[in-house]
Amino acid sequence: MVIEVKARAEGRSSLGLRHPQPVQSVMRHEENLCLMLELFDENLTSFEKSLNGELDDCDYDACFKATAFLDAIYLFSRMLLDSVAGVVRHRDFHEPEKGRELPKSFDDIYKKSVKGELPGNLNKVFSECETWFPQLKERRDNIVHYYETNLIGIDKSSEGGTTAMQFSPRKKTPKVEDLRSYIGVVMAGCQRLIDRLLDYWDEMFRSRYGITKPANTRTQTIFEGRRASILWWAYQYGGYRNDNMVVGES
């Protein structure tokens, strides 16, 4: 609606698209990432059950599939973030300042934000990704550029149960890490980034066009089933919370 108002104010005709192409790309990669999360958890859970004696044999095939879906989660997460960068750069959401144009990749936008080189409040929006994005970037780059072949292992947790961890055959001492918690932190980081971007655009549209967001409009969206996977992982394993968010399990 805001885009249509802006187009009319500038005397431009509507493109006839419900969503700009970068937004469509975000939607597509969100769906793909949700599917990867679902398949990863399904196969990892099966592998864990087989090790705990709940199945007749050790399900090595499930472990192999979980490893493949884990790589896909890293790849699709980066693709999703690059699409988010495309939305931020889109003409309807950003007015470039001379000499301060936004780069195309999320990584380059993030690097500029750390140096304070982005326009306005975008520096704060992206620099707060420092707690989770660099490690995600490293894992994706290791797979794509440095021929990494990560494996999944199961270790005893401090509570006496089991913890799924990722390790590399190239490293002598594997780092014990709860994979679900790590992925949850990444998904929570993505959700908080979206929250900050929405707040940024609310303020931008208010100052630029006098368009004020109606109260509590974001709470009307319902995510369920596979579409809720990103948000569920953020909530369940990454500690993501939102005062207006209501979570129900079935």
Identify whether 57 is part of a domain.
Answer: yes
pLDDT, tens digit (0-9, with 9 covering 90-100), for 85-99: 999 988 656 666 665
State the DSSP string of 112-163: HHHTT-SSTTHHHHHHGGGGTHHHHHHHHHHHHHS----EEEEEE-TTSSEE
Place of tokens 């934000």: 113
Measured CA to CA, the distance from residue 84 to residue 30 in angstroms comes to 10
Residue 68's nearest CA partner among 34, 44, 52 is 44
- Alpha-carbon distance of 117 to 123, in angstroms, equals 7
pLDDT cut 90: percent of the chain above it:
48
Local structure of 19: helix, strand or coil:
coil
Q: Tokens 């609310």 map to which residue?
A: 202
Two tokens, residue 105:
């990749």
Q: How many domains does the chain have?
A: 1
* Inside any domain, residue 201: yes
- Express each pLDDT in 101-111 by its tens digit: 788 899 999 99
60 has pLDDT over 80: yes
* pLDDT at site 40: 97
pTM of the model: 0.85
**Residue 204 or 136, more confident:** 136
d(CA 147, CA 101): 33
Quick check: 151 and 179 in contact, CB under 8 A? Answer: no
Q: Is the pLDDT of residue 15 over 60?
A: no
Tell me if 99 is assigned to some domain.
Answer: yes
Residue 62 phi, psi dihedral angles, 5° rounding: -65, -35
Average pLDDT over every residue of 193-221:
76
* pLDDT beyond 60 at 17: no
Q: Rounded to whole angstroms, how far apart are CA atoms 55 and 32?
A: 30
Q: Please check whether residue 235 is in contact with residue 185, taking contact to mean a CB–CB distance below 8 angstroms.
A: no
> Is residue 216's pLDDT more than 60?
no
Token pair in block for residue 54:
């709940």
Residues 6+ apart with CB under 8 A from 12: none
Full residue range of the structural domain in which residue 120 is found = 20-236
Cα angle 167, 172, 176 (rounded to 5 degrees) comes to 40
Domain membership of residue 40 (yes or no) is yes
